[in-house]
């Protein structure tokens, strides 16, 4: 009998303020046409003054807990993926824990930028499948608007704010094959040699400032397409599976062209790919759980469905999680 981490609830939260490309073009030297054509983005959400990453995370976490019927006191573990924490320390996860009323359980942040949610899910899965925890909350939450250089049109038009969360419960009884419910595989990678292609030019130890995001977009694009294809092939091979067995691809939402390129390589029809980048832009660690929650809530992802999540981001980091709902 195999013990698996099963996703038993999802939730998400988006700040109220919608900023369209046209609105951005009134202050940045850009156009709706350029942004849509190059990235597929039409609008993004921006956090209100004073609204922090933990505020977004708490709202998403409450929605996920409500949907799963799990009480905060039953949580053994909270893993929060973010590159935009409220403070340098303590972990934003600890703030979320206190607000939810889950004091005493394990709570920490994971920092893998846009691959953060994949890293956090893989971490929670390791705790649950090894018996170190039974019930976990995994959150991806970001306020990237706070680390953008609004004079750099090559980056500031691409990102947005938001949060998504899932509740996981360890369940015994799996057969140990791909028919099991729950997380079937996780694969994580990093290559720190590409630091200068995507980074924030500040931090407590280097500059004593927060810094702003710097990206060589075209180079990152090239790496993203190849790393994501490798990640998807690795997950399929590890599960002795072909792409047509997948019900849904829920990719990190950075650029519509990257998402479509990955789907094309897999021969996956567009109808099997969950896309939110048009409305959310790139919300880094929050993008996958936001997309997942949307597709679960609108009835696309249903119990029994096989869902592949994949992402790539600063570090570089990249990876995948395959799960049966
Ligand atoms: O989530 C983490 C991973 N991040 C990503 O995956 C992002 C990966 N990269 C990308 O998505 C794309 O590279 C971008 C959307 C960032 C850019 O698309 P691109 O087709 O690679 O454009 P480019 O950077 O090569 O720029 C093309 C032109 C340049 O002008 P010239 O030099 O050809 O005259 C830029 O100056 O577009 C210009 N440009 C803009 N024009 C209008 C750059 N940004 C803008 C802008 N509005 N916002």
Contact 94, 64 (CB under 8 A): no
Q: Is residue 242 part of a domain?
A: yes
Whether residues 168 and 233 fall in one domain: no
Q: Is residue 220 part of a domain?
A: yes
Whether residues 167 and 22 fall in one domain: yes
pLDDT at residue 266, as a whole number: 86
CB atoms within 10 A of CB 164: 35
Whether residues 196 and 218 fall in one domain: yes
Whether residues 187 and 163 fall in one domain: no
Contact 306, 284 (CB under 8 A): no
| Rounded CA separation 19/22 (Å) | 8
220 lines ligand 1 (CB under 6 A): yes
Whether residues 40 and 135 fall in one domain: yes
pLDDT at residue 187, as a whole number: 98
Whether residues 53 and 195 fall in one domain: no
- 305: closest CA among 259, 276, 274, 270? 274
Q: Is residue 202 part of a domain?
A: yes
| Rounded CA separation 178/281 (Å) | 33
Whether residues 90 and 162 fall in one domain: yes
**Substitution site in 25, 114, 154, 214 for ligand 1 pocket (most atoms within 8 Å of beta carbon):** 154
Tell how many helices (H) and how many strands (E) occur in the chain.
Answer: 10, 13
Phi then psi dihedrals of residue 130, to 5 deg: -90, 0
CB atoms within 10 A of CB 43: 19
Domain total for the chain? 2
199 lines ligand 1 (CB under 6 A): no
Q: Is residue 177 part of a domain?
A: no
Whether residues 76 and 100 fall in one domain: yes
pLDDT at residue 174, as a whole number: 87
Cα 233 to Cα 25, 229, 262, 266, distances in angstroms: 39, 6, 10, 8
Q: Is residue 71 part of a domain?
A: yes
Whether residues 54 and 189 fall in one domain: no
* Domain-ending residue, one of 147, 172, 197: 172
CATH number of the domain encompassing residue 232: 3.40.47.10
Q: Is residue 303 part of a domain?
A: yes
* Domain-ending residue, one of 138, 172, 206: 172
Q: Is 153 exposed, middle or buried (0-12, 13-18, 19+ CB in 10 A)?
A: middle
* Domain-ending residue, one of 151, 172, 193: 172
| Rounded CA separation 243/231 (Å) | 13
**Substitution site in 218, 219, 262, 314 for ligand 1 pocket (most atoms within 8 Å of beta carbon):** 218
Q: Is residue 56 part of a domain?
A: yes
pLDDT at residue 303, as a whole number: 97
> What tokens appear for 81 in the block?
């993926």
Whether residues 94 and 156 fall in one domain: yes
Q: Catalytic positions, please? A: 114, 252, 282
Whether residues 165 and 58 fall in one domain: yes
Can you give the residue range of the structural domain that contains 117? 3-172
Q: How far is the CA of 311 from the centre of ligand 1 (A)?
A: 19
214 lines ligand 1 (CB under 6 A): no
- Nearest 5°: the CA angle 211, 215, 220 is 145
Atom of ligand 1 nearest to the CA of 155: 16
Q: Is residue 314 part of a domain?
A: yes
Whether residues 150 and 251 fall in one domain: no
224 lines ligand 1 (CB under 6 A): yes
| Rounded CA separation 217/143 (Å) | 20
Q: What is the mean pLDDT of each run of 10 residues along the chain (325 residues)?
A: 96 98 97 98 98 99 97 98 98 98 98 98 98 98 98 98 98 92 98 96 98 98 94 96 96 97 91 98 98 98 98 98 98
């Amino acid at each position: 009998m195999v013990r698996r981490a099963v996703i038993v609830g999802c939730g998400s939260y988006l700040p109220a303020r919608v900023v369209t490309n046209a609105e951005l073009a009134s202050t940045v030297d850009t156009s709706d046409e350029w942004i849509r054509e190059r990235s597929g983005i039409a609008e993004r959400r921006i956090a209100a003054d004073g609204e922090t990453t933990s505020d977004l995370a708490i709202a998403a976490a409450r929605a996920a807990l409500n949907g799963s019927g799990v009480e905060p006191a039953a949580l053994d573990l909270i893993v929060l993926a973010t590159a935009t924490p409220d403070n340098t320390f303590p972990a934003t996860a600890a703030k979320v824990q206190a607000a939810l009323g889950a004091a005493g359980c394990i709570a920490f942040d994971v920092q893998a930028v846009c691959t953060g949610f994949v890293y956090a899910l893989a971490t929670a899965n390791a705790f649950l499948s090894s018996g170190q925890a039974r019930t976990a909350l995994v959150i991806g939450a970001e306020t990237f608007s706070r680390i953008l250089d609004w004079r750099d049109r090559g980056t500031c038009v691409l990102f947005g704010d938001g949060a998504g969360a899932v509740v996981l419960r360890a369940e015994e009884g799996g057969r140990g094959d791909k028919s099991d419910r729950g997380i079937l595989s996780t694969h994580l990678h990093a290559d720190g040699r590409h630091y200068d292609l995507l980074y924030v030019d500040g931090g407590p130890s280097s500059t004593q400032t927060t810094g702003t995001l710097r990206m060589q977009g075209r180079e990152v694009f090239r790496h993203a397409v190849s790393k994501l294809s490798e990640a998807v092939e690795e997950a399929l091979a590890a599960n002795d599976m072909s792409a047509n067995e997948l019900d849904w691809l829920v990719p990190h939402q950075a650029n519509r062209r990257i998402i479509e390129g990955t789907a094309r390589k897999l021969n996956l029809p567009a109808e099997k790919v969950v896309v939110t980048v048009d409305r959310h832009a790139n919300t880094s660690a929050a993008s996958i759980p936001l997309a997942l929650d949307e597709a679960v809530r609108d009835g696309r992802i249903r119990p029994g469905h096989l869902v592949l999540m994949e992402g790539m981001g600063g570090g570089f980091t990249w990876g995948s999680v395959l799960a049966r709902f």
